[in-house]
Amino acid sequence: MRSKKFRTHLLSLRFLRVPGSPSPRVPPSPFPLFTLVLALAVLACGHPPPGRGAGEIESSSPSSSAQNSVSFRVETVIGHLQVPWSIAWAPDGRMFFTERTGRVQTFQNGKATVLFTVPDVAPSGEGGLESLALHPQFADNHFIYLAYVYEADNQYVRVVRYREASTGLTERKIIIEKIPAAQFHAGCRLRFGPDGKLYITTGDATRRDLAQRLDSLAGKTLRLNDDGSVPSDNPFAGRKDARPEIWSYGHRNGQGIDFQPGTNLLFETEHGPSGFDGPGGGDEMNLVEKGKNYGWPTIHHTETRAGMEAPLLEYTPACAPASGMFYRGSAFPDFRGNFFFGCLRGARIIRVILDGRRVVSQENLLEGKYGRIRDIAEGPDSYLYFSTSNTDGRGTAAADDDRILRLVPVK
């Protein structure tokens, strides 16, 4: 029942631009032009985020499930990047990351190296080179998966597999393509599940109706074998009226997914309406399950309807969740099993404490300190790494933005 869901409600600042909206949403006013100019002036005069990433000490707050505050030091790992979108680690300790302009880089021993530049990427609006995932057997097969926006007769998202070689990335293989895209709501996050399958989030490409249509790949979670073939146990496999790749549907713009340790439940973060396609806010954290309908655009925010899934957590005004991961490491014992995601408009990291399917509590970390935060990932050192997105045209950049930073425990 909806009454069992854990909700967050805040007042909506409707005159500010919501991520994903092509234009600011201005409230009714006898002076609409003046209101718009004033709002834009406020945004234009913003200041760089105060966080330096030079070793300053921050801390979490005690909660009902973790009575101790967790202190950590914030360090910059690498700076002067161009909208870093996705972070992953190879078994040999190298960090792989993507930049929206099309570059795939590695970082090890204090040195960044451009491994590859995607030749047919179309970096515009929210699109470009997005997510990256390494095959679970990367140490043996060296397979790397990239999701990016490209142009054909329209804009689409394509997922491609490469093999890392001494000369860079080779053996290009298309896993899936022609996923609808647009200037906004292009998804896309890649994650291998405990079952060895590749899960892919997709946006509705600003066409609301596509999210409910089972003959479209837009507004969905997809599930594929590692070679791009369709698993026989997908919920719509064998149906003539549905795309067999679909795992769940009714999503607006999913940007983060990960599997809960111990239960293997799939949790997802998703952007809510942006004003032009519904009341602002309504960002979501969902528990995504096989074949289920998550409602967009029929229901949103805290609305409910039979046969559709309401979110576990809802955020109004928008926080613009841009990632999602469960912490599994040892450096922060109090964080183990917690779900973390970065927020763009919300300019913070949100930590969610869960008991299986049930939300116990949540808290904000680094709120307003480092600007727009996109990906968050656990490193081989068990530290928490996150990327900023202050040079994406919607933020105000610090001198060395964009950056990848990390949280290091302080005892």
Write the DSSP string, 116-147. EE-TT----TT-SEEEEEE-TTHHHH-EEEEE
Catalytic residue among 135, 185, 251, 301: 185
CA pair distance 115, 109, nearest whole angstrom? 16
Nearest residue to 278 (alpha-carbon basis) of 180, 202, 204: 204
Let me know how many helices (H) and strands (E) the chain has, helices first.
2, 25
CB atoms under 10 Å from CB of 190, counted, come to 23
CA pair distance 376, 256, nearest whole angstrom? 10
Q: Under DSSP, is residue 349 helix (H, G, I), strand (E, B) or coil?
A: strand
CA pair distance 35, 29, nearest whole angstrom? 7
CA pair distance 227, 366, nearest whole angstrom? 39
Helix (H) or strand (E) holding 32: helix 32-44
Residue holding tokens 């809802």?
314
Establish whether the linkage from the previous residue to 45 is cis, with ω within 30° of 0: no
Residue holding tokens 């917690």?
338
Q: Which residues of 358-389 are buried (b: 16+ CB within 10 A; e: fewer)?
A: ebeebbbbbeebbbbbbbbbbbeebbbbbbbb
Kindly state the DSSP code that residue 293 receives in the 8-state scheme.
B
Q: How far, CA to CA in Å, does 270 sit from each of 187, 301, 314, 367?
A: 9, 11, 10, 19
Catalytic annotation on 300?
Answer: no
**Which residues are annotated as catalytic?**
185
